[in-house]
C-alpha cells in the first residue's frame, strides 16, 4: 500500500494550468490562495480568497462542496499540499494551479497590486 493512502480513501485532485484556472474562476469556481498574508504584497489574484495553508482544514467547513475549488500559492508546492488535504477530506472537484502565482503572472493573467517588469 502507498505510504499515504488509506483503504477506501479516494483522495485525488488535478493540476491545471493558470489559463484554465482563470476560465474556471470566471465560471464561478472558488480560488483559494494558501500563501501567508505577508506574501500578498507580491500580487493577488482577482476573486481569490486568502486562507493560509495551516488554516485550510478549519476553513474547509465553510466551503460549499458542490463548488469546484482551486488552490494557488507562489510556485504550486503548498497549494498542491492543500489540494491533497481537501481531496482527503472528501472534496470531489479540487485542483492545484500548476506553477502558482508565478506561472499566472508569466501567462499575462490579471494580478492586483503586482508590478510587472
> Which residues belong to the active site?
73
> 32 and 52 in contact (C-beta within 8 Å)?
no
Please state, in angstroms and rounded to a whole number, the distance separating the CA atoms of residues 16 and 35: 18
Sequence-ordered alpha helix ranges (H) in the chain:
18-26, 56-59, 77-88, 100-106
**Pick from 43, 9, 69: which is nearest to 1 by CA?**
9
Angle at the Cα of 69 (from 6 to 107), degrees rounded to 5?
120
Amino acid at each position: 500500500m502507498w505510504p499515504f493512502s488509506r483503504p477506501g480513501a479516494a483522495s485525488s485532485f488535478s493540476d491545471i494550468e493558470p489559463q484554465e484556472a482563470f476560465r474556471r474562476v470566471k465560471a464561478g469556481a472558488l480560488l483559494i490562495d494558501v500563501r501567508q498574508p505577508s506574501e500578498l504584497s507580491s500580487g493577488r489574484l482577482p476573486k481569490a480568497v486568502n486562507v493560509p495553508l495551516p488554516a485550510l482544514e478549519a476553513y474547509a467547513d465553510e466551503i460549499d462542496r458542490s463548488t469546484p475549488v482551486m488552490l494557488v500559492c507562489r510556485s504550486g508546492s503548498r497549494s498542491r499540499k492543500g489540494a491533497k488535504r481537501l481531496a482527503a477530506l472528501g472534496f470531489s472537484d479540487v485542483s492545484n494551479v500548476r506553477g502558482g502565482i508565478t506561472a499566472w503572472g508569466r501567462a499575462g493573467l490579471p494580478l492586483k497590486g503586482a508590478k510587472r517588469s
